[in-house]
Amino acid sequence: MQLSDSFGRKFYYLRLSITDVCNFKCEYCLPNGYQHDKKNCFLSLDEIRRTVAAFASVGTEKIRITGGEPALRKDLTQIIAMISEIAPIKKIAMTTNGYNLAKNAQQWYDAGLNQINISVDSLNPNSFNKITGVNRFDQVMKGIDKALSVGFDKIKINSVLIKNFNDHELGLFLEFIRIRPIEMRFIELMECGDTNTFFEQYHSSGDLIKRQLEGSGWQLEEKAKDDGPALVYSHPGYLGKIGLIMPYSKDFCTTCNRLRVSSLGKMHLCLFGDYGTDIRHLLQRDDQQSQLVSLLHDSVATKEVSHYLHQGNTGQTPHLASIGG
């Protein structure tokens, strides 16, 4: 039976975090870098297989591998290959900072990865290096070139909108996607527990970009069944598209189609929810699958209609690296 909640939303899409560790220090996420905690033991290959198999049995069709930085896991290619064997998963996507994409894009694609999102907050190398805390702009851009040559079904670039930092770069990004079949996604900065001062200073609404696009011939596309809350625009003069993610906009949560499992085996119904439901104890043996499926149904039935960001309630999420943004 398809996973659905009490508001009639159906969940086809799982965002699965495979590590909290990251090698970047994005100002809005891990400004002091990842703080190593030796006690953390991230989901094993078998635990990942059982998680994906359980979600697949209740209608999940798309898995996004995320983190932290998922490409830091040495067994990433094995993880992709293993997920691609699980029916009826049709799409495997990954979100990465792109640091080793140039080297690995081909093997990830060969293992079954169909879609890739690369985070690039600025096309200006100095600004990129400043916001990420690492000097890896050229490396990431080489990764994007490689991804384009490999043949992924979809390539997206994620860019978090930051006031007076990159919110004037629309022209640069548009030029970039004029001849590249890439969906450029602008994501409004979201408030998290550890970074609320940054949020207060730098949040910038996506409305400005929306108005600029609508005033220059970009057309809003209709949503398909498994499309999430992003608004997607296209234009006949561009190979690429623009996506806008505006979590503070009205009705953002009505098209929610995704659930999350953290790298420590907690299911989260919302990025900005509570501590999550522990499912790890039911990931230890293959014969626990029916118990796990019951827990998924019970938990999803309690999903709330919306987040409470407007009331300043960011839930228990300290930063998105901890839950798989």
Task: Please tell me whether residue 256 adopts helix, strand or coil conformation.
Answer: coil
Q: What's the start-to-end Cα distance of the chain, in Å? A: 27
Q: What minimum distance in Å lies between the beta carbon of 202 and ligand SAM? A: 10
Q: Does 22 bind ligand SF4 (CB under 6 A)?
A: yes
Using CB under 6 A as the binding rule, the residues of this chain from 224 to 243 that contact ligand SF4 are none
Which of ligand SF4, ligand SAM, none has residue 30 at its interface (CB below 5 to 8 Å by kind)? ligand SF4
Question: In sequence order, what DSSP letters do the residues of 137-170 get, joined into one string?
Answer: HHHHHHHHHHHHHHT-SEEEEEEEE-TTTTTT-H
- List the x/- string, 50-69, binding to ligand SAM by CB under 6 A: ----------------xx-x
Q: Does 108 bind ligand SAM (CB under 6 A)?
A: no
CA dist list (Å): 95 to 16, 22, 81, 119, 292: 10, 12, 16, 8, 26
Q: Does 157 bind ligand SF4 (CB under 6 A)?
A: no
Q: What minimum distance in Å lies between the beta carbon of 74 and ligand SF4? A: 18
Using CB under 6 A as the binding rule, the residues of this chain from 296 to 325 that contact ligand SAM are 320-321, 325
Count of beta carbons in the 10 Å neighbourhood of residue 301: 12
Write the DSSP symbol of residue 202.
Answer: H
Q: Does 30 bind ligand SF4 (CB under 6 A)?
A: yes
- List the x/- string, 257-286, binding to ligand SAM by CB under 6 A: ------------------------------
Task: Please tell me whether residue 264 adopts helix, strand or coil conformation.
Answer: coil
- Whichever of 206 and 325 has its CB closer to ligand SAM, that residue is 325
Closest to 70 in 3D by CA, of 79, 62, 59 = 79
Q: How many residues bind ligand SF4 (CB under 6 A)?
A: 11
Is 20 within 8 Å of 322 (Cβ atoms)?
yes
Please pick, from the candidates 80, 189, 321, 323, the single residue that binds ligand SF4 as defined by CB under 6 A.
Answer: 321
CA angle 108, 23, 16 (to 5 degrees): 50
Helix (H) or strand (E) holding 110: helix 101-111
Q: Does 29 bind ligand SAM (CB under 6 A)?
A: yes
Distance CA 120, CA 213 (A): 20
Q: Does 134 bind ligand SF4 (CB under 6 A)?
A: no
Residues that bind ligand SAM (CB under 6 A): 22, 28-29, 66-67, 69, 95-97, 119, 158, 160, 187, 189-190, 192, 195, 320-321, 325
Residues that bind ligand SF4 (CB under 6 A): 22, 24, 26, 29-30, 67-69, 97, 119, 321
